[in-house]
Structure formats: C-alpha cells, structure tokens
C-alpha cells in the first residue's frame, strides 16, 4: 500500500511540475485591444522630475547619459541664451498653472536654435513667448519650469512610469502644435494627400483663426485655413480638409473595430474631421460630418471609454482625447490629467471577466503619450530625417508611458520612437504589414515591442492610487471643453 501511495505521489508530483511548466509558458501572441491615450503639451524634463527623487527614485535614478534603467531627465543647468553657454536653474510650477507657452513651428525653431552643422543646440527657449491668463502675469523664466509634485498630484503618472514602461526617447513626429500632431497620431501624416507627404508638404500649424470657436477639418467655414510647411518653408495656406488613407482604414480592411473618443465634434483634436472620406461633409464648407465611418466611430464623451471597459464593449483600437480640465495643457487644465489617465488604467486592470470569458487585463495595452512639447524646456535634441521630410520631422521629446500585464516593472526604453512607432505597433499587433500607410509608420524604425514580454503570463494588477476614480469621470456633469483654446 505504501509503495502504491508513493507511486501516486510521484505521478502527482510529475503532473504538478508539468502543470507549473505550462503555466510558466502561458502567453498571448498579440493584444486584442489597444488604447491610445493622448494628453497635451509636456516634455519629460517638465513633467517627470519626480522620477529623480523619493519615493520614486533618487538623484542617481536620472542622468543625461542614462545607462541601464536610468531616466534621461535633466534636473539642473538648463541651457538658455543662444550660443552663450548660459544656463538657468529650473524652478517648479503647478500642473494647473496660469500661463501658456508658444508651441508653434516658429516656437520650435526658436527653441531648437540650429547650428551650422544642422543640429539643435536646445538653448533658445528663453526667447519663446509666454501668454498669461486674463488677470495674471507670466513669472520670470516661465519656460524653465518643472511641474511641482509637493501635493502628490503627479503620483499617478509617476506610479505608472515606475510600475510599467517609460520611454527616454519618444519624440513627436512634427515640429509644431496639436492639430498636425493629432493627424500624425491618427493617420500617420498631416499632409493633405499621399503625394504631398511624399513631397514633404505638411499642415504645420493649428487652423486659423486659432481660438476654440473655430471648427476644424472638412466642416470648417470657408475662410478657415491651415499653414503648410513645404521644402521652401511655410509659404502656403489651404482649407483643412485632406484625403489620404489612415490607420482606421487599415483596421477597417482587417475587420478590426475602432473608436475615437473626443470632447467635441469640430475641434482640432478630433482628427477624423479632417479626412474627407471619413467625415463626408454635408456641404462644401461648414455643415456636419455625415459619413458612416464617422457616425459609427467618433464619440463625444471621453469618459465613455471607461463605460466601454466596464460593459466589455471595448473596440480593437481606441483613441482617447481628454477634456480641457484633464488634458495637462498649460493655462487651461484643472489638474485632473493624472487621475484621468489612472482611471483608464484602473478601470481596465480591475475589470472582471466578460461574459465571453475575456479578461481585458490579459489582452489589452494602454499607450499614453503627449501630443506636443507645449513650449516647455527639454534637453534632448531631436534628430532630423533626410529630405524632403527633414524640414518638419522630428519634433521635441514628449513623454510616453506603456501599460500592460506583460510590461516589466520599471522598464525604461532608450529606443528612439515617434508617433509613427505607435502606428507601427498597431499594425504589427493586428497582422498588418508595418509601414502600410507609407507615411510616418514607414519612416519610423521602431514599433514599441521592446516594452513587452509575451512569453510570460500577465502580472497581477495593482491599483494606481489617484485622487479621482472612474466613477468621478463617468458622473462628472461639468460641460466638456476642448483640450485647450489654441
């Protein structure tokens, strides 16, 4: 009997070992869902100084020549005074501050200060304009500021960075503001057509007139224009309605669902408005978007993405644009951005199994980036592409956070990436040939796959502490505003 029991125990031990081995080899081949969260106007030096001090790190956690898992963040001696070698010591500013900085293409060239060799010196930000809110004034050295975390308001961002993935080398593709940036993030280019993209001709600025009352895209009034960057400079203006393939078209062809969550129908941040075959405007100028693709996929309450998660109705790819209060945009945000992003992460990580048996945490990735640098200082110069693209690509660094159950804790990536890398990742993930659009996705050399180890099972989710949760944003009755009044 004893030998029989011993035999059973041996068989059971072997079975347990094999079972444990199979669990260790558990994996997914790709993600079923990708959520692309687009915040506003920050640089790593401006927003993530907290990674260089307790409780998220120490001074040795950051270096301007990072090795291993160090963060590439400069904490002192920010360059100013073109060509003089002068420096400014950065000081703090609230996330919900009272002024905005220039972030046009002209602001880019001012800050970049290209030398005779064609490289950015990164010492011209002191000449960038500062626009104070009504009734306020700009402080001294307004460009040389980092966001104050004395109240812990940035803790959600810092927790996400240290628990998941952070990029040291994410650059916006364009050298300018939000409107062209969102075109690149949605469709791989801000060019009016594929031929224009090939020729190096891009929508380079926000639409004009440039305040929130302006409707952008194919439903703008006839007098609305956007400046073009060509190989000869910003020498043309056109109506902001374009026609070329976008990432959403590739998804449609592959039978992959998508949604675009945005605060309003006609803003510069609602990228599908500017694509003629998606919008299908009711009139030649003005009117409304009436295309089936637009009506089915463009949604006008950003918090609906939280409801889609809780109701197990998440699309294959979701673009998520914040309201003004939650956008991080200087001068207009109310400080809700870190909690807003954390609410998406927490809603996903804490969502139970769907009726189909799917668990979103096991098959979904959240990519968080910022659409442009916002005029804030950053010490890392961008590289420029060969002509004809080099006159407008690349722009300055912006933060990038990557969240998934397969992203190693505290992963720091030094691979140069841009908005095209996000498109390449989506393409590769869903079995679409990388670079299929032939735009930024083809020119980028990275695809973010280094952020994942899909040979391991998803790690256990831990809630990101935040002042505001998903219920707050779902039930918030504050009238939504656009991410800024640019």
Q: What is the mean pLDDT of residues 279-306?
A: 96
Q: 4 phi and psi, to 5 degrees?
A: -65, -45
Q: Is it the case that residue 214 has pLDDT exceeding 90?
A: no
Cα 168 to Cα 427: distance, rounded to the nearest angstrom: 23
pLDDT at position 233 is: 82
Cα 71 to Cα 51: distance, rounded to the nearest angstrom: 7
Q: Mean pLDDT in the chain?
A: 92
Q: Is it the case that residue 367 has pLDDT exceeding 80?
A: yes
CA angle 314, 471, 478 (to 5 degrees): 100
Q: Is it the case that residue 19 has pLDDT exceeding 90?
A: no
Q: Could you tell me the pLDDT band of residue 209, with boundaries at 50, 70 and 90?
A: confident
CA trace torsion 373, 374, 377, 383 (10° rounding): 30
Give per-residue pLDDT as tens, 28-42.
999 999 999 999 999
Q: Is it the case that residue 10 has pLDDT exceeding 50?
A: no
Give per-residue pLDDT as tens, 224-264.
999 999 988 887 999 999 999 999 999 999 999 999 999 99
**Percent of the chain residues topping a pLDDT of 90:** 87
Cα 157 to Cα 131: distance, rounded to the nearest angstrom: 26
Strands (DSSP E) contained in 108-232 are 130-132, 145-147, 165-167, 202-203, 226-230
pTM of the model: 0.93
pLDDT at position 20 is: 41
Radius of gyration of the chain (CA): 23
Q: Is it the case that residue 213 has pLDDT exceeding 80?
A: no
Tokens encoding 439: 């735009």
Instruction: Determine the longest span between alpha carbons in the chain, in angstroms.
Output: 93
**Nearest residue to 275 via CA among 184, 206, 211:** 184
Cα 323 to Cα 482: distance, rounded to the nearest angstrom: 5
Q: Is it the case that residue 276 has pLDDT exceeding 80?
A: yes
Cα 322 to Cα 41: distance, rounded to the nearest angstrom: 12
Helix, coil or strand: residue 380: coil
pLDDT at position 210 is: 52
| Integer CA distances (angstroms), 101 to 127, 393, 446, 471, in order | 11, 21, 30, 33
Q: What is the mean pLDDT of residues 151-162?
A: 97
Give per-residue pLDDT as tens, 436-466.
999 999 999 999 999 999 999 999 999 999 9
Q: Is it the case that residue 316 has pLDDT exceeding 80?
A: yes
Q: For the chain, which residues make up each domain, given as ranges?
A: 27-475
Least confident span in 6-20, 184-198, 323-337, 350-364: 6-20
- The CATH number of 27-475, from 3.40.190.10, 3.40.366.10, 3.40.720.10, 3.65.10.10, is 3.40.720.10
CA angle 211, 213, 218 (to 5 degrees): 100
Residue with tokens 């961002």: 157
Q: Is it the case that residue 11 has pLDDT exceeding 70?
A: no
Cα 331 to Cα 136: distance, rounded to the nearest angstrom: 11
Q: Could you tell me the pLDDT band of residue 416, with boundaries at 50, 70 and 90?
A: very high
pLDDT at position 4 is: 34
Q: How many residues does the chain have?
A: 486
Q: 439 phi and psi, to 5 degrees?
A: -110, -130
CB-based contact 396:173 (threshold 8 Å) = no
**Nearest residue to 94 via CA among 368, 338, 330:** 330
Secondary structure (DSSP) of 198-219: HHT-EE-S--BS-STTPPPGGG
CB-based contact 203:226 (threshold 8 Å) = yes
Q: Is it the case that residue 1 has pLDDT exceeding 70?
A: no
């Amino acid at each position: 009997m004893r030998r029989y029991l011993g035999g059973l125990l041996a068989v059971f031990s072997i079975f347990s070992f094999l079972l444990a081995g199979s669990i260790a080899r558990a994996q997914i081949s790709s993600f079923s869902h990708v959520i692309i969260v687009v915040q506003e106007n920050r640089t790593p030096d401006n927003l993530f100084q907290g990674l260089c001090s307790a409780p998220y790190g120490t001074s040795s956690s950051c270096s301007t020549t990072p090795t291993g898992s160090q963060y590439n963040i400069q904490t002192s001696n920010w360059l100013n005074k073109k060509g003089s070698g002068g420096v400014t010591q950065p000081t703090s500013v609230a996330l919900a501050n009272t002024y905005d900085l220039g972030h046009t293409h002209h602001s880019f060239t001012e800050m970049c200060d290209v030398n005779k060799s064609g490289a950015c010196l990164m010492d011209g930000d002191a000449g960038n304009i500062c626009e104070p809110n009504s009734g306020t004034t700009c402080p001294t050295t307004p460009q040389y500021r980092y966001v104050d975390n004395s109240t812990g308001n940035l803790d959600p961002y810092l927790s996400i960075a240290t628990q998941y993935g952070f990029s040291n080398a994410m650059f916006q593709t364009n050298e300018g503001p939000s409107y062209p940036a969102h075109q690149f993030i949605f469709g791989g280019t801000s060019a009016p057509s594929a031929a224009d993209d090939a020729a190096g001709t891009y929508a380079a600025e926000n639409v004009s007139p440039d305040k929130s009352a302006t409707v952008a895209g194919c439903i703008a009034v006839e007098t609305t224009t956007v400046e073009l960057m060509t190989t000869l400079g910003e020498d043309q203006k056109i109506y902001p309605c374009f026609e070329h393939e976008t990432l959403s078209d590739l998804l449609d062809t592959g039978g992959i669902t998508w949604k675009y969550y945005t605060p309003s129908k006609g803003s510069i941040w609602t990228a599908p408005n500017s694509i003629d075959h998606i919008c299908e405007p009711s009139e030649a100028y003005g009117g409304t978007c009436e295309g089936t693709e637009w009506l089915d996929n463009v949604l006008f309450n950003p918090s609906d993405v939280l409801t889609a998660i809780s109701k197990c109705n998440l699309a294959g790819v979701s673009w998520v644009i914040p309201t003004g209060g939650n956008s991080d945009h200087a001068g207009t945000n109310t400080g809700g951005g870190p909690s807003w992003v954390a609410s998406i992460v927490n809603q996903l990580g804490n969502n139970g199994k769907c009726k189909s048996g799917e668990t979103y945490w096991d098959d979904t990735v959240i990519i968080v980036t910022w659409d442009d640098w916002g005029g804030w200082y950053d010490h890392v110069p961008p590289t420029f592409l060969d002509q004809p693209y080099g006159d407008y690509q690349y722009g300055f660094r912006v933060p990038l956070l990557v969240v998934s159950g397969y992203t190693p804790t505290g992963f720091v990536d030094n691979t140069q990436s841009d908005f095209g890398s996000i498109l390449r990742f989506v393409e590769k993930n869903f079995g679409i040939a990388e670079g299929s659009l032939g735009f930024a996705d083809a020119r980028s050399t990275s695809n973010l796959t280094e952020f994942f180890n899909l040979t391991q099972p998803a790690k256990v989710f831990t809630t990101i502490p935040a002042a505001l949760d998903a219920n707050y944003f779902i039930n918030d009755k504050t009238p939504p505003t656009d991410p800024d009044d640019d």
